[in-house]
């Protein structure tokens, strides 16, 4: 959320991380100020792999997460939602609007963005990615190189539903592996 937005007496802020990253799925986080508690859920990697990716299963998953946010944070009719403008949250925003809530599409920055980003990095480390490879947000090439080291084992962590994966990157990492073995 940027600082030029109003705050409301009752609000829930929702953001995501991992959408443009090569590995795993997406982490969605929510806070309900002034409560310092943070809720985090994950859209699984399988939602970004065939055949689920073409069916946009990740959008359905974001709605399921919205339902969990309801259960945990118990919004009432006066609750205002501030939801990141990322595409992966578009169905979640629509779901909230269809339930009659005021929903503001915001650019994500600040504390919540940092918490969600840390959640995504934590997930990568849990999956075996060395933490030092995750220090920067511009990590596509670094992660591609990491997958290329052992592609037959690590490809399962990749968003393989991307057209660019099948068209270009998959062939490139397997070629790189063959070149190293020669």
pLDDT of 77 reads 87
pLDDT of 1 reads 45
Which of 126, 151, 168 is at the close of a domain? 126
Q: What percent of the chain has pLDDT over 70?
A: 91
Enclosing H/E stretch for 111: helix 110-126
Domain that holds residue 141: 132-181
Residue whose token pair is 């090439």: 141
The CA-based angle 69-73-77, given to 5 degrees, is 100
Q: Let me know whether 89 and 119 are in one domain.
A: yes
pLDDT of 3 reads 44
Q: What is the dihedral of CA 98, 104, 107, 112, to 10 degrees?
A: -90
34: cis peptide before it, omega within 30°? yes
Q: Let me know whether 104 and 53 are in one domain.
A: yes
Question: How many domains, the chain?
Answer: 2
Which of 126, 142, 173 is at the close of a domain? 126
Assess whether pLDDT exceeds 70 at residue 46.
yes
Instruction: Say which DSSP state 35 is in.
Output: -
Enclosing H/E stretch for 92: helix 90-98
Residues pairing with 43 in the sheet: 26
pLDDT of 174 reads 84
pLDDT tens for residues 142-180?
A: 999 999 999 999 999 999 999 899 888 888 888 876 665
Which of 126, 149, 171 is at the close of a domain? 126
- Residue 14, φ and ψ in degrees, nearest 5: -130, 135
Q: Let me know whether 112 and 71 are in one domain.
A: yes
Residue 3 lies in a domain: no
Q: Let me know whether 82 and 155 are in one domain.
A: no
CA 113 – CA 167 distance, rounded (Å): 32
Q: What is the pTM of this model?
A: 0.88
Quick one: tokens of 18? 């991992």
pLDDT of 6 reads 54
| Mean pLDDT (the chain, rounded) | 89
């Amino acid at each position: 959320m940027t600082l030029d937005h109003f705050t409301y007496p009752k609000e829930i802020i929702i953001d995501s991380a991992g959408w443009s990253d090569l590995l795993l799925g997406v982490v969605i986080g929510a806070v309900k100020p002034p409560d310092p508690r943070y809720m985090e859920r994950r859209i699984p990697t399988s939602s970004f792999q065939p055949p689920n990716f073409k069916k946009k299963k990740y959008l359905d998953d974001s709605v399921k997460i919205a339902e969990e946010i309801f259960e945990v944070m118990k919004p009432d009719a006066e609750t205002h939602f501030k939801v990141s403008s990322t595409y992966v949250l578009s169905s979640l925003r629509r779901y909230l609007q269809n339930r009659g809530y005021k929903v503001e599409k915001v650019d994500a920055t600040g504390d919540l963005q940092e918490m969600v980003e840390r959640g995504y990095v934590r997930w990568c480390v849990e999956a075996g990615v060395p933490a030092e490879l995750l220090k920067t947000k511009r990590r596509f090439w670094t992660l591609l190189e990491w997958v290329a080291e052992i592609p037959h084992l690590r490809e399962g962590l990749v968003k393989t539903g991307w057209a660019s994966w099948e068209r270009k990157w998959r062939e490139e990492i397997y070629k790189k592996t063959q070149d190293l073995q020669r």
